[in-house]
């Protein structure tokens, strides 16, 4: 058995509403780089060698719980948001008798890293403290709790902004809301915290004075990683965090061998994976669970969400690709819309103004211009001419178009689904295909052309007559 005091449990506070966000959505659900912000402290907690993570939820608890489903966390409900000490108390009650270290993180501090938290834990252990508060210095401390130290530099108390007089308001060292407590101490004092303050809330910050009064060691550990501990309380702070997170993510990809023509203009969400030697032009969004294979080029202004892009794929300008798969060496765009459920095999070519929905296209097939293919299964080596449309919807139901291998579809063809085209068939340009076409057959369904000799001259004469 290891030393019990080495054990760590992390508590993440996420029950508050976040009034200053002016939102119908709980603050911890607002996304940063595509993920609800509470998932970042959850991730940092997961990287610590902690026994478990307890998340306190309250405001919009069901939605927060949804976001946390599948994560290795325990959930505690705070039905009424009576302050940070009340939230911590509920979590501590759920881990009764735990005497190891308790790390407290905030759901609204998404830029926190496990390195910064580990630094705090190390400082706590080294000092043999009962409480260690993570602090930092900021140019504008308004809104934050201030760290009040004595002449020797030891922390005496934390004063909340709303309870601070002018001299305290001038202090630039602030409480980040992140702490390490000795579990035994915390469970003894947590119920004794009062709500005698400007907000009539139970403040976890009061534990500092209580600890000192009891003669315990309380330490304020200052970090220089100001960005890591930035609390999000307003939309303006949310935008700043978004920018920092975005550049962190892009830097990570650059370190892994991805080229950005201008990284400031590329928005990649946190869960996206990108292989090396991918080049990304400005104005691109890559979202959700997208995976991009080696050697792809993604030109400007595309958005790719929840998709799997193979190796060596070229995505020309201004494409939207959602919930789809694109095979190796395919070429997409410019101006293509690949909608959910599409699967493109290798070497497929999709050109300008082509929309695909729930379409499969086999190896080397092409739809280069002005086409809609929906609910379609298309074999390999197929050429789809410009202006081809699968008429998949009859006003009530969707129907499928199946096209075999090596079919040649001329321009401006409509397939009235359900319809099946056999391997190697030819579809004449301008045809409306309402019946199945056998393999190797030519289908042609356009009105035969008649030429009226000299008609233009005749028409001109008729017009001149009528004007007299």
Contact call for residue 84 and ligand UD1 (CB under 6 A): yes
Residue least distant from Mg ion (Cβ) = 231
Instruction: Catalytic residue, from 124, 221, 337, 369: name it.
Output: 369
Task: Name the 3-class secondary structure at 74.
Answer: strand
Compute the least distance from the CB of residue 264 to ligand UD1, in Å.
Answer: 27
- Which 229-248 positions form the footprint of Mg ion (CB under 5 A)? 231, 233
| 399 flagged as catalytic | no
Would you say 427 and 443 are in contact if contact means Cβ atoms under 8 Å apart?
yes
For 267, the 3-state DSSP assignment is strand
* 110 lies in the binding site for ligand UD1 (CB under 6 A): no
Query: Where in 113-243 does DSSP place strands (E)?
Result: 131-137, 146-149, 155-159, 173-182, 218-222
Q: Which is nearer to Mg ion, 108 or 328 (CB)?
A: 108
Q: Tell me whether residue 99 or residue 233 sits nearer to Mg ion (CB atom).
A: 233
Q: Work out whether 410 is an interface residue with Mg ion (CB under 5 A).
A: no
Q: Is 203 in the site for ligand UD1 (CB under 6 A)?
A: yes
Q: Which of 36, 100, 107, 312 binds ligand UD1 (CB under 6 A)?
A: 107
Q: How far apart are CA 307 and CA 327, in angstroms?
A: 11
Give the tokens for residue 97. 């008798």
* Contacts of Mg ion in 96-115 (CB under 5 A): 108
The least distance separating Mg ion from the CB of residue 232, rounded to whole angstroms, comes to: 7
Cβ 230 vs Cβ 138: under 8 Å: no
- Candidates 10-18, 275-283, 305-313, 383-391 — which segment interacts with ligand UD1 by CB under 6 A? 10-18
Cβ(431)–Cβ(410) under 8 Å? yes
What is the contact mask toward ligand UD1 in residues 30 to 69, using x (rule: CB under 6 A)? --------------------------x-x-----------
Q: Is 148 in the site for ligand UD1 (CB under 6 A)?
A: no
Q: Does 324 bind ligand UD1 (CB under 6 A)?
A: no
Q: How far is the CB of 233 from Mg ion (least distance, A)?
A: 5
By the 8 A CB rule, do 69 and 169 touch? Answer: no
How far is it, in rounded angstroms, from Cα 202 to Cα 119? 28
Contact between residue 210 and residue 187 where contact means Cβ atoms under 8 Å apart? no
Smallest separation, CB 80 to ligand UD1 (Å): 8
Nearer to Mg ion, 161 or 277 (CB): 161
Tell me the CA distances in angstroms from 423 to 3, 380, 409, 440, one per residue in order: 71, 10, 12, 6
- Regarding 211 and contact with ligand UD1 (CB under 6 A), the answer is no
Q: Which is nearer to ligand UD1, 234 or 279 (CB)?
A: 234
Residue 205 binds to ligand UD1 (criterion: CB under 6 A): yes
Query: Which among 122-130, 203-211, 403-411, 444-452 is the span making contact with ligand UD1, rule CB under 6 A?
Result: 203-211
**CA 401 to centroid of chain Cα atoms:** 34
Closest CA to 205 of 165, 125, 145: 145
Query: Of ligand UD1, Mg ion, none, which one does residue 13 interact with (CB within 5 to 8 Å by kind)?
Result: ligand UD1
Q: Does 116 bind ligand UD1 (CB under 6 A)?
A: no
Q: Tokens 């595509």: give the residue.
A: 34
> Considering only residues 39, 53, 92, 160, which one is a binding residue for ligand UD1 as defined by CB under 6 A?
160
What's phi and psi for 124, nearest 5 deg? Answer: -60, -45
204 makes contact with ligand UD1 (CB under 6 A): yes
Stretch that binds ligand UD1, among 95-103, 201-209, 318-326, 444-452 (CB under 6 A): 201-209
Determine the Cα–Cα distance for residues 226 and 360; give it in Å rounded to an integer.
49
Instruction: Please identify, using beta-carbon distances, which residue of 7 and 173 lies nearer to ligand UD1.
Output: 173
* In the complex, least distance from residue 72 CB atom to Mg ion, rounded to whole angstroms: 25
Of 316, 320, 321, 314, which is closest to residue 300 (Cα–Cα)? 316
Q: Do 436 and 419 touch, CB atoms closer than 8 A?
A: yes
Task: Please report the DSSP string for 335-353 in residue order.
Answer: SEEE-TT-EE-TT-EEEEE
Please report, as residue ranges, which positions from 172 to 231 form the binding site for Mg ion (by CB under 5 A): 231
Using the 8-state DSSP alphabet, how is residue 136 labeled?
E
Mention every residue, 6+ apart, whose C-beta is less than 8 A from residue 125.
none
Pick 178 or 409: Cβ nearer ligand UD1: 178
At 437 the three-state DSSP class reads strand
Binding-site size for Mg ion (CB under 5 A) equals 3
16 binds ligand UD1 (CB under 6 A): yes
Is 131:218 a contact under the CB 8 Å cutoff? yes
Q: Could you tell me the CA-to-CA distances from 244 to 97, 174, 192, 275, 380 in Å, in that order?
A: 39, 20, 39, 22, 45
The residue within the footprint of ligand UD1, chosen from 116, 132, 136, 175 (CB under 6 A), is 175
Binding residues for Mg ion, rule: CB under 5 A, are 108, 231, 233
Binding residues for ligand UD1, rule: CB under 6 A, are 13-16, 28, 56, 58, 78, 81-84, 86-87, 106-108, 144-145, 158, 160, 174-177, 203-205, 231, 233
Please identify every residue annotated as catalytic. Answer: 369
């Amino acid at each position: 058995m290891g030393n019990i005091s080495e054990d760590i449990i992390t508590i993440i506070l996420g029950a508050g509403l976040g009034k200053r966000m002016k939102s119908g959505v709980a603050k911890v659900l607002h996304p940063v780089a595509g993920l609800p912000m509470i998932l970042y402290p959850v991730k940092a907690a997961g990287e610590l060698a902690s026994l478990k993570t307890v998340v306190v939820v309250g405001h919009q608890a069901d939605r927060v719980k949804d976001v946390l489903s599948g994560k290795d966390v325990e959930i505690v409900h705070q039905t009424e948001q009576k302050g940070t000490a009340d939230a911590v108390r509920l979590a501590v009650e759920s881990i009764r008798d735990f005497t190891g270290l308790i790390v407290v993180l905030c759901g609204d501090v998404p830029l926190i890293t496990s390195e910064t938290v580990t630094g705090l834990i190390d400082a706590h252990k080294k000092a043999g403290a009962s409480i260690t508060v993570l602090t930092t210095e900021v140019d504008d401390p308004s809104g934050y709790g201030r760290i009040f130290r004595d002449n020797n530099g030891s922390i005496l108390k934390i004063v909340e902004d709303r309870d601070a007089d002018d001299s305290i308001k001038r202090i630039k060292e602030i409480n980040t809301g992140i702490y390490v407590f000795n579990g035994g101490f915390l469970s003894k004092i947590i119920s004794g915290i009062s709500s005698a303050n400007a907000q009539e809330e139970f403040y976890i910050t009061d534990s500092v004075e209580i600890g000192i009064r009891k003669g315990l060691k309380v330490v304020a550990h200052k970090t220089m990683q100001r960005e890591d501990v930035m609390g999000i309380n307003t939309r303006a702070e949310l935008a700043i965090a978004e920018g920092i997170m975005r550049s962190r993510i892009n830097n990570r990809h650059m370190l892994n061998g991805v080229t950005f023509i201008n990284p400031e203009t590329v928005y990649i969400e946190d869960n996206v994976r990108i292989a090396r030697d991918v080049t990304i032009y400005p104005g691109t969004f890559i979202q959700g669970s997208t995976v991009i294979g080696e050697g792809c080029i993604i030109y400007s202004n595309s958005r790719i969400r929840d998709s799997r892009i193979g190796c060596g794929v070229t995505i020309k300008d201004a494409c939207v690709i959602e919930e789809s798969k694109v095979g190796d060496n395919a070429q997409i765009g410019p101006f293509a819309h690949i909608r959910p459920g599409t699967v493109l095999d290798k070497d497929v070519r999709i050109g300008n103004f082509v929309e695909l929905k729930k379409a499969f296209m086999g190896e080397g097939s092409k739809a280069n211009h002005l086409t809609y293919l929906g609910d379609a299964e298309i074999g390999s080596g197929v050429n789809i001419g410009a202006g081809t449309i699968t008429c998949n919807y009859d006003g009530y139901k969707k129907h499928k178009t199946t096209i075999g291998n090596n079919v040649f579809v001329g321009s401006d063809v409509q397939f009235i689904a359900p319809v099946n085209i056999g391997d190697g068939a030819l579809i004449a340009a301008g045809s409306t295909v309402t019946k199945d076409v056998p393999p190797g057959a030519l289908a042609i369904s356009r009105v035969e052309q008649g030429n009226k000799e000299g008609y233009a001259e005749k028409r001109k004469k008729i017009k001149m007559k009528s004007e007299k």
